[in-house]
Structure 1
């Protein structure tokens, strides 16, 4: 042993350099693998809200299971169509909640607390006047019931800020970047806390949640198995280095040159690992789904959804309408189907039924014939084949978002309007709403304003009325949590839409909604 140490002593510097480089490369390899595998699902203390919705929305599961939600080891609430909400899984009695956050221009972050079945409170840090910084209380479905501005005003975008909530008795003190930003009433006791964003960027990091039971620190990095992976990577790299040194010695390379050569090789390996980490770090926010796989999955899902909707209609509604009943056929896609509602009873079509019955003074059936992901030509085919025998008294058409080609949309919507007229079904056309946070270029769905002009033109050509649902909701953009993404409403959004339509539809439908003998009786099939 002493002889071996004596032989290695002249190369101690090179050996130390190699070991340090291998340690760094091993740690880097383990960190790269952990970063690559990081998912919100690996952070069991936190739960996303979207997957709990009975009427699911796009990207809900992918946000939890994919890397984008915690890309770069930060919670990214704009991932997978934005408006993500993440709550601590358990109800706790907090004493302090601290975090770092950053929002993009036009973005905002909600810090939620007092989250209970009967409502919640929160603070919004906003970077745009449309969504200013406020403290609020909200109903369970997201409607703001009380609101007051924060003294701190708008936050600077693209800058990391520190927020802190200190809970004491019936009061919470808010601090932003070390300065007091207000004191607000709170309810002591077990509650959930969490975060919510909008369509624009909102990142959260370095969360510290203190309770009487202890402290939870969350940096949204994946530390699982790091030690074992580091040991395995170091052992593999050390074995490779030893093998390389032995090979160089057998090939006649002088002993004094072997150490530097292996050190260079270790440095190259370390650089490769660093490069791999950089690639994973910078590409973690990308959405890597092949177009063919996405199209196959969507085609399967659309067909399954269509079959389910048609089957439910046939099971629920007889072809013959009961005397005196007003039957409204509602045509659309996922927004109309009710995506984003916590339950079917909270979709705007289901909510509309009793409201419209009260306005009309007669029984009402609202037939939800919407199917997610369809375009207008598919809705036309659905009307001609599966919905032909429903004998609807009137129709509400809510289409635009999914149609990308404006001219094709014009032709298809005109054909749909003609088909309804041929069947003697008076129609009202809605301007399908999107969140005001969406701007052209955000999504591949095309120019919404141009498609709304198509709806107006087609309706005018057929002498049918239009309801500006998009504009009406835009005026109420800050009444609460309206959206789960740029097109799918929350339960609160569905409630607003139902109330608006219940008031808007009766005068637009005219004789079709009038009471009297024979109203709602089945009409002869169109020829």
Structure 2
């Protein structure tokens, strides 16, 4: 995988601080069907479960728990409405927010989607969590989706404006296919839309790699210290 697709281009100060202090790590995976695990053969094969396994193997003293807060079919506004109930009680240092494809499919107004992303990030930060956005999955029907790329662009613009890193799921999946490492059929469920065990495993392992790198980078630690000094 090209490093530029794996690296998270913004600091994660709360996660880094908790790791340095050897505190228990709590991560909430907020999202829709590809967080909940549609297409996986069991809950243990979803990306949050695979991520938890990978991080506990890397951070044995961290006591890592990844809470799956995915609900199938939800829009960004519906996830935003669940933050106080399904995210805040866990006091996570990090929230992985997967969103965008359902809003594109249902034609949610771009301005509304932009505002919901902004409000959600602000609310998640208010509960003390870093945020990583996860963009859309790559699937054959995306090219036919009206304004599909515009929702991805909007997510990236909001992320850049607020200093939030993006897990480039769409580009990663596209690279895995275009580089002939996998085929579309081998990365997607029979519906050719949702992920399968193999792609959930890839997502969990790549995210673990990204988070390990972000938390271990001296530049990230220095940025985290500067952010803390401004608080």
Q: Aligning the two structures, in what range does the TM-score lie when normalised by the shorter sequence?
A: 0.7 to 0.9
1:57-96 → structure 2 map (5 Å cutoff): none
Cα distance, 1:509 vs structure 2: 5.0
Higher strand proportion: 1
Q: Distance in 1 between matches of 2:87 and 2:166?
A: 23
Q: Distance in 2 between matches of 1:386 and 1:501?
A: 21
Q: Which of 150, 158, 165 is matched with 1:450 structurally?
A: 150
What are the superposed Cα offsets for residues 68-92 of structure 1, whole Å, 9 maximum, x if unpaired?
Answer: xxxxxxxxxxxxxxxxxxxxxxxxx
**Paired position in structure 2 for 1:378:** 78
Q: Distance in 1 between matches of 2:90 and 2:188?
A: 32
396 and 417 in structure 1: CA distance in 2 versus 1, 3 angstrom threshold: same
CA RMSD of aligned residues (A): 2.1
**Paired position in structure 2 for 1:460:** 160
**Paired position in structure 2 for 1:355:** 54
489 and 462 in structure 1: CA distance in 2 versus 1, 3 angstrom threshold: same
What are the superposed Cα offsets for residues 34-67 of structure 1, whole Å, 9 maximum, x if unpaired?
Answer: xxxxxxxxxxxxxxxxxxxxxxxxxxxxxxxxxx
Q: Distance in 1 between matches of 2:216 and 2:117?
A: 22
1:505 aligns with 2:211: yes
**Paired position in structure 1 for 2:144:** 441
**Paired position in structure 1 for 2:223:** none
**Paired position in structure 2 for 1:411:** 115
1:399 aligns with 2:99: yes
**Paired position in structure 2 for 1:492:** 198
Contact 1:428 1:509 in 2 (8 A): no
Secondary structure at the counterpart of residue 82 of structure 2: helix
493 and 386 in structure 1: CA distance in 2 versus 1, 3 angstrom threshold: closer
Cα distance, 1:487 vs structure 2: 3.2
Cα distance, 1:412 vs structure 2: 0.6
Q: Distance in 2 between matches of 1:395 and 1:462?
A: 15
Q: Which of 38, 45, 56 is matched with 1:339 structurally?
A: 38
Q: Which of 156, 176, 188 is matched with 1:483 structurally?
A: 188
Cα distance, 1:461 vs structure 2: 1.7
- Count of paired positions: 186
466 and 509 in structure 1: CA distance in 2 versus 1, 3 angstrom threshold: farther
Cα distance, 1:398 vs structure 2: 0.9
Q: Which runs of 4+ in 1 moved over 4 A?
A: none
Structure 2 runs not aligned, ≥5 long: 1-21, 221-231
Secondary structure at the counterpart of residue 90 of structure 2: coil
330 and 427 in structure 1: CA distance in 2 versus 1, 3 angstrom threshold: same
Structure 1 runs not aligned, ≥5 long: 1-322, 515-527
TM-score by length of 2: 0.74
Structure of higher RCO (CA pairs closer than 8 Å, 6+ residues apart): 2
Secondary structure at the counterpart of residue 342 of structure 1: coil
380 and 345 in structure 1: CA distance in 2 versus 1, 3 angstrom threshold: same
TM-score by length of 1: 0.34
Higher helix proportion: 2
Q: Distance in 2 between matches of 1:460 and 1:482?
A: 29
